[in-house]
Amino acid sequence: MKQISERIFYVGVNDDDKELFEGLWPLPYGVSYNSYLVVDEKVALIDTVESGFEEEYVAGIRAAVGDRPVDYLVVNHMEPDHSSLISMIIGLYPEIKIVVNPKTVPMIKGYHGVEDERLIVMTEGESICLGSCSLSFHMIPMVHWPETMVTWLPEENTVFSGDAFGTFGAVAENPVDDEGAFGQYRDEMIRYYSNIVGKYGTPVQAALKKLAGLPVKRICSTHGPIWETCISDVVSLYDRMSRYDADRGVCIVYGSMYGNTAAAAEDLAMELERRGIPYALHDLACNNSDSLGLSGALRDVFKYDTIAVGSPTYNNGIFPPVEAFMSALQARLIKGKRFYAFGSYTWAAASVRLLNERAEAMNFDVLGDGLPFPQAYTHEKCDMSAVASLLSE
Ligand code: FEO
């Protein structure tokens, strides 16, 4: 527990044990599930945390409010990393009212069997009074689920933003940011956004427009630090990512069976390095437990404006891990990328043609025909210097 202001207490927890968020995305630096108390004449709890942290969570709440009852639980978002302990909180505070919006109602009934009498159903802009302060509710559908809303505490210029502005990475004992926090969390914020929220650029833009009308001084997200010092950097990054705006640079993503497509990818990286072009290199077929795999590749797709994809021809198609990567791009409605394909084949060249077709279907700017090469990779067959020059233009 950490007191953040006169009325706000942080009662979130760090999860350093979970290996895969949503069962998919690696967590090398952990993740926090943030929950907050607003303490006034009435007490409001904003979101809960993932199951498995019951004891620590209740101890934090008790440390903040002692034996006082919690009057309201505000549910900004129903994904179970924030809603898992709703039933436990009801058991702890039998008189508690739960503040939701109409889209939350079937979810909270389905997950927790909450009865109508306990629910206070708010629509856009409605508020509840806690005494000297109030909480108003603003819908931000699809950031990250259709029921998602933010809670605004005008007396403290604070927005409880749900997943918006969240990041992977556990938080320090003091969860409030400092000047260095944005730099420290930037990569994990991009990875979180690209992996979890990346499909919803248009709803994120709508949410940003809504928030732009508020004099926000503090952002209390459900994951990662509380943003005060770095607000402008964080909002600007979310704005860019949700517009699919990226820096000049190349995200090289490949899979390889016997090292030939890998050798082409590595040579391309070396040629880009020589030219001073920023790049990232991701082996999707890597068994190294330190590799972020698809998760890291998606992060760097959001960082750089160019994607170079290498795949051998496999069963007359795209190598499966690379096929999964292309599907992940499509699922996230990625826009505006420059694209280049390369890869080896033994008797029939298919992968480069198919990769280009997938890229064209996403309206990417496909740079040339790509580079399919037969059998072993050699410098004589493959002029990666020319490819690097093309990608550097
Ligand atoms: Fe952190 Fe969409 O839940």
**Ligand 1 closest atom vs CA 223:** 1
Q: How far apart are CA 90 and CA 243, in angstroms?
A: 40
Backbone angles phi, psi at 111, to 5 degrees: -85, -35
Distance (angstroms) between ligand 1 centre and the Cα of 33 equals 9
Q: Is the CB of 267 under 6 A from ligand 1?
A: no
Task: State whether the Cα torsion 194-389-326-24 is positive or negative.
Answer: negative
Concatenate the DSSP letters of all residues of 240-254 into one string: HHHTT--EEEEEEEE
Distance (angstroms) between ligand 1 centre and the Cα of 386 equals 43
User: One digit per residue, pLDDT tens: the chain, 393 residues?
Assistant: 999 999 999 999 999 999 999 999 999 999 999 999 999 999 999 999 999 999 999 999 999 999 999 999 999 999 999 999 999 999 999 999 999 999 999 999 999 999 999 999 999 999 999 999 999 999 999 998 999 999 999 999 999 999 999 999 999 999 999 999 999 999 999 999 999 999 999 999 999 999 998 999 999 999 999 999 999 999 999 999 999 999 999 999 999 999 999 999 999 999 999 999 999 999 999 877 778 999 999 999 999 999 999 999 999 999 999 999 999 999 999 999 999 999 999 999 999 999 999 999 999 999 999 999 999 999 999 999 999 999 999
Q: Is the CB of 47 under 6 A from ligand 1?
A: no
Q: How far apart are CA 71 and CA 73, in angstroms?
A: 7
Residue 176: name the closest of 244, 120, 225, 249 by CA: 225
Distance (angstroms) between ligand 1 centre and the Cα of 82 equals 7
C-alpha angle 175/124/209, rounded to 5°?
A: 65
Q: Is the CB of 84 under 6 A from ligand 1?
A: no
